[in-house]
Amino acid sequence: MKILENSDVSQLLSNINWNFPQSKTSEGIHSIHPYPAKFIPEIPRYLIKSLPIPEDTAILDPFCGSGVTLVEAQMRGLKSVGIDLNPIACLISKVKTQDLPAEFLNTAAHCVNFARKGFELTGTRDIPNIDHWFDPQIQQSVTALLLMVNSIKEVAIRQALRLALSSILVRISKQESDTRYAAIEKDVNQDDVFEFFTVACRKIAKSKEQSSSAKTPVKIIERDTLGTKPSAIPWPIGAVITSPPYPNAYEYWLYHKYRMWWLGFDPIAVKEKEIGARAHFFRKNHHTAQNFKEQMEGTLRLIRSVLVSGGYACFVIGRSKIHGKIVDNASIIENVAGELGFKKIERITRRILASRKSFNLSHANIKTEEILILKK
Ligand SMILES: C[S@@+](CC[C@H](N)C(=O)[O-])C[C@H]1O[C@@H](n2cnc3c(N)ncnc32)[C@H](O)[C@@H]1O
């Protein structure tokens, strides 16, 4: 590989227009399940393309969310590792990056046929406040489908079926929309549950068919990044490409709360460990920017121990508003990284599309985010 000076890499990066105004976050494989604050695929794509990533190394995303970095790495034939606390994030990432056996749609049809018969149900799951959000008839159909889906032995098929079910839960609930947490009356019946599920399965099958079939290995680790040991990362890392959670901005656990309850996970445990969750900023002894600094220090220490010498660490992050004050998260990361011995290669400001902003970012009138490129 041609050796590039730091100034050449910096020049290469600053020649790219990182705004990508035409980009879509929910096309092809990224349309199979909603996820808040997804990367636009061009960001990891152009970072992977432009950086001289050391040979025989893998890409790491320590906050992989819906796996956009992992898919981009796979498209370029690179191994990758994703870490995320949120089990729905990990399920999406797995389904996007692993092969889907040919029997998937037949298995989906078999699950629907059995669930439709409404065999003897032993009651719905013990989910808090379930009747407020799901009509009892709908609960029955979901329970019947889940029983069938969870009994499927082939792991990749079972995971894809669980993801299809997860993707329709807001639509068949009384929740107004993915981002509006009001209960409203909806005209949805039991047949719709099976119909929407079938359509979601077909969508997964179609997008998998269209995505690359030569799969390079991807390892997904479902846990708190701050509690992850370097030994859990199976390959030397040549580049980290990540968008860490913003303090007091998005609430991933809340967005997926009922999906997690239904699929047998514990959203409250996720909330406790979720970096930046608003809940931590509105309680006694609430979190401050100092907590974020310590969380990023923990993340950078993990990165430093798994990144090869000369490897890159790229962070995409905007500002937050904490108790009325705007906090420059990129500068927090840049300063901690400097203390830990990383070298700054470039810091680029890009515009955030209005449609991608969370309520909190819009409220704080935040229109840009930063791409920070560091080198070990
Ligand atoms: C900005 S999102 C990442 C989105 C991702 N780039 C994508 O394209 O979908 C930040 C992620 O950090 C995760 N997260 C928050 N706290 C975490 C923690 N302590 N350990 C691991 N992941 C965490 C959230 O679950 C969320 O998926």
What is the chain's pLDDT, residue by residue, as a tens digit (376 residues)?
A: 557 899 999 999 999 999 988 777 778 899 999 999 888 999 999 999 999 999 999 999 999 999 999 999 999 999 999 999 999 999 999 999 999 999 999 999 999 999 998 755 555 668 999 999 999 999 999 999 999 999 999 999 999 999 999 999 999 999 988 888 888 989 999 999 999 999 999 999 999 988 866 689 999 999 999 999 999 999 999 999 999 998 877 889 999 999 999 999 999 999 999 998 877 777 777 777 888 999 999 999 999 999 999 999 999 998 888 888 889 999 999 999 999 999 999 999 998 876 555 455 555 566 889 999 999 9
Per-residue model confidence (pLDDT) at position 288: 79
Are both 108 and 62 inside the same structural domain? no
Residue 178 and residue 224 in one domain? no
Pocket test for ligand 1, best of 68, 90, 275 (most atoms within 8 A of CB): 275
Q: Is residue 305 part of a domain?
A: yes
Nearest C-alpha to atom 13 of ligand 1 is from which residue? 63
Atom of ligand 1 nearest to the CA of 245: 10
Question: In the chain, what are the helix, strand and coil shares in percent, each to the nearest 5?
Answer: 45, 15, 35
108 plus 152 within the same structural domain? yes
Q: Are residues 220 and 204 in the same domain?
A: no
Instruction: Report if residue 224 sits inside a domain.
Output: yes
Report how far ligand 1's centroid is from the alpha carbon of 358 (Å).
Answer: 15
Whose C-alpha lies nearest to ligand 1, atom 4? 65
List all residues whose CB is within 6 A of at least one atom of ligand 1: 35, 37-39, 63, 65-66, 68, 83-86, 89, 224-226, 243, 245, 252, 273-275
Instruction: Note the pLDDT of residue 235.
Output: 98
Give a yes or no: residue 29 inside a domain: yes
Do 25 and 125 belong to one domain? no
CA distance 336 to 163: 37
Q: Is residue 1 one of the residues assigned to a domain?
A: no
> Ligand 1 test: best mutation among 23, 88, 274, 317, most atoms within 8 Å of CB?
274
Nearest to 302 by CA among 250, 271, 331, 337: 337
Note whether 331 and 348 are same-domain residues. Answer: yes
Number of separate domains in the chain: 2
Residue with tokens 């990758």: 80
CA distance 189 to 202: 20
Final residue in a domain of this structure, among 210, 230, 247: 210
Residues near 296 by Cβ (< 8 Å), separated by ≥ 6? 244, 332, 333, 336
Beta strands, E only, the chain: 58-61, 80-84, 175-177, 180-183, 218-222, 237-242, 307-322, 325-328, 343-351, 368-375
Q: Are residues 80 and 202 in the same domain?
A: no
Distance 176 CA to ligand 1 centre (A): 24
Query: Do 286 and 242 reside in the same domain of the chain?
Result: yes
Query: Do residues 219 and 137 both lie within one domain?
Result: no
**Separation of CA 207 and ligand 1 centre (Å):** 23
In a domain, 96, yes or no: no
Note the pLDDT of residue 246: 84
Beta bridge partners of 82: 61, 220
Q: What is the pLDDT of residue 336?
A: 98
Q: What is the CATH number of the domain that holds 54?
A: 3.40.50.150
Indicate if 80 and 125 belong to the same structural domain: no
User: Taking the CB of residue 20, how many other CB atoms lie within 10 A of it?
Assistant: 17
Question: Does residue 319 lie in a domain region?
Answer: yes
**Whether residues 72 and 143 fall in one domain:** no
Residue 99 domain flag: no
Q: At what angle do helices 329-339 and 289-306 cross, to 10 degrees?
A: 50
Residue 24: predicted pLDDT: 74
Instruction: Tell me which of 195, 210, 225 is where a domain ends.
Output: 210
- Domain of residue 147 covers 104-210
Could you tell me the CA-to-CA distances from 352 to 40, 72, 349 in Å, in that order?
A: 10, 20, 10
Buried b (16+ CB within 10 A) or exposed e, 41-57: bbbbbbbbebbbbbeeb
Ligand 1 atom with the smallest distance to the CA of 86 is 25
**303/321 same-domain check:** yes
For residue 139, CA distances in Å to 64, 121, 133, 143, 266 come to: 31, 11, 10, 6, 19
The answer to whether ipTM exceeds 0.90 is yes
Q: Which of 191, 210, 229 corresponds to the end of one domain?
A: 210
